[in-house]
Amino acid sequence: MLKAVNKIYLTLIMFRFSLRKFVFGFENASRMLQFVDKRAINAILRRNGAVVGEDCDIESPLIIHNCVNYRNLTIGKKCHIGKDVFLDLRKPIVIEDCVTISMRSTIVTHLDVGASRLREHGFSKVSKGTVLERDCYIGANSIILHGVTVGACAMVCAGAVVTKDVAPYTLVGGVPAKKIRKIKRMDYSLNG
């Protein structure tokens, strides 16, 4: 009985998303990710172009900005994306397998000062993709800026602002984020 109810719920949510997309546009429909039950998020993302691996736990609300579909989003297997995570999809965001993005974190893929006179000082538009490699951890309220790659098994402390690539097996923290220490590599081949 519960499976049937879930199937009906997902069908209704998908219909509602499609209707909002048709009537009001994609950006308006995308706002639904901020209030739908988390059971619907994976289905909405997949149906609208994202690649989402198996066993992903994506919490609601999820805030996605700067897109006309979700094709710039790739999420690997067994990932966790916490509540209130903000994803800027102007350029691709690649989240590899077993990545954790804690609540209220932000991933930005562009900088645009608009019509500001800052353009005269060399601040022009910049758009670059962001990669979170396998098994990395992004702490709560962290900000990952455009063009950054967070290496495999790296850990970003809560509240950090990551402006440069993070090497694999490295713990970083602060504003801007700096290396705190290396993380000991484990021999995973022994664990199957």
Helix (H) or strand (E) holding 30: helix 26-30
Which residue in 65, 110, 121, 146 is the catalytic one? 110
Is residue 36 within 8 Å of residue 13, measured between CB atoms? yes
Cα–Cα distance, 12 to 108 (Å, whole number): 31
Instruction: Name the phi and psi angles at 181, rounded to 5.
Output: -170, 165
Torsion of CA 129, 48, 63, 143, to 10 degrees: -20
Please say if 146 is a catalytic residue: no
Cα–Cα distance, 190 to 192 (Å, whole number): 6
Q: Are strands 161-162 and 170-173 parallel, antiparallel or unpaired?
A: unpaired
Cα–Cα distance, 7 to 190 (Å, whole number): 41
Catalytic residues: 110
